[in-house]
């Protein structure tokens, strides 16, 4: 879009700088994956390809438990958040009503407050009402974190929806429910799938909220990894981290194919 006509010193420099920064962005990820497959682990020179670290990592009880907790948490949070967000998106796209802008701002509110404060507030509140230290503690936190993303993606996919298809069904004599089940939902499927996946992966990777809400029985994988690498820094942890990265990468590629990563990620999760 910004034209470059003839190669100039400036452009060459720009290109070099850009690739240096891109390298800076991907080097840490590449290093981790490299170590996880290297039979001498962190030691250089590399000695050969191995799956030993993965075998060890997936055999460790703490990581297996972490994977289970994170998986359940991601799936449950994606389901609940989308169930809550879908009607909101529907109302935002299809109805004009008083307080629409306020509603929009309100459902985005978990993103507007610093993660530290959301984590602290939920921790204090949930312990206080007797919901501390359980699966639901984390679940509530994660649902709050992903609701804004679900609303945004569902809103985007609803607003490109062709309403005349529904009208045609209605005119052909289908009832409201029938139209919804046979016309609306199938067309919206990709949007809903993309939203579910984004919610899952944000929950799966979440660190900032989880560290406030995790308990010794319910420790999601990122927190498990964090406490592991505080004491032990080995190629096994590189293998766990790489597994997490692979799952994220697959999801990213699918989301990009289905919905376009840029439309989906106009807000970022906390740090």
| CB 100, min distance to another protein, A | 8
| CB 63, min distance to another protein, A | 13
| CB 181, min distance to another protein, A | 16
| CB 229, min distance to another protein, A | 7
| CB 151, min distance to another protein, A | 8
| CB 50, min distance to another protein, A | 17
- HEC string of the chain? CCCCCCCCHHHHHHHHHHHHHHHHHHHHHHHHHHHHHECCCCCCCCCCECCHHHHHHHHCHHHHHHHHHHHHHHHHHHHHHHHHHHHHHHHHHHCCCCCHHHHHHHHHHHHHCCHHHHHHHHHHHHHHCCCCCCHHHHHHHHHHHHHHHHHHHHHHHHHCCCHHHHHHHHHCCCCHHHHHHHHHHHHHHHHHHHHHHHHHHHHHHCCCCHHHHCCCCCCCHHHHHHHHHHHCCCHHHHHHHHHHHHHHHHHHHHHHHHCCHHHHCCCCCCC
CA distance 249 to 251: 5
Which among 25, 28, 29, 49 has a CA at the least distance from the CA of 39?
Answer: 49
């Amino acid at each position: 879009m910004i034209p470059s006509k003839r190669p100039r010193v400036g452009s060459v420099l720009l290109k070099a700088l850009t690739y240096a920064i891109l390298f800076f962005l991907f080097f840490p990820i590449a290093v981790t994956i490299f170590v996880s497959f290297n039979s001498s682990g962190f030691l250089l020179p590399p000695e050969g390809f191995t799956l030993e670290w993965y075998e060890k990592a997936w055999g460790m009880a703490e990581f297996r438990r972490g994977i289970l907790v994170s998986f359940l948490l991601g799936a449950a949070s994606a389901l609940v958040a989308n169930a809550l967000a879908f009607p909101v998106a529907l109302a935002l796209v299809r109805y004009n009503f008083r307080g629409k802008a306020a509603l929009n701002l309100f459902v985005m509110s978990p993103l507007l407050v610093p993660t530290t404060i959301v984590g602290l507030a939920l921790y204090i509140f949930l312990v206080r009402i007797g919901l501390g230290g359980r699966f639901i503690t984390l679940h509530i936190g994660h649902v709050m974190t992903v609701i804004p993303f679900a609303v945004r993606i569902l809103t985007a996919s609803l607003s490109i929806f062709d309403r005349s298809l529904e009208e045609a069904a209605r005119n052909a004599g289908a009832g409201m429910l029938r139209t919804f089940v046979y016309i609306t939902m199938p067309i919206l499927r990709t949007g809903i799938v993309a939203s579910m996946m984004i919610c899952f992966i944000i929950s799966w990777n979440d660190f900032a909220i989880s560290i406030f809400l995790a308990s010794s029985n319910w420790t999601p994988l990122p927190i498990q990894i964090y406490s592991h690498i505080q004491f032990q820094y080995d190629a096994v942890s590189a293998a766990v981290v790489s597994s997490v990265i692979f799952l994220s990468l697959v999801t990213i590629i699918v989301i990009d194919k289905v919905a376009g990563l840029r439309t989906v990620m106009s807000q970022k999760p906390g740090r």
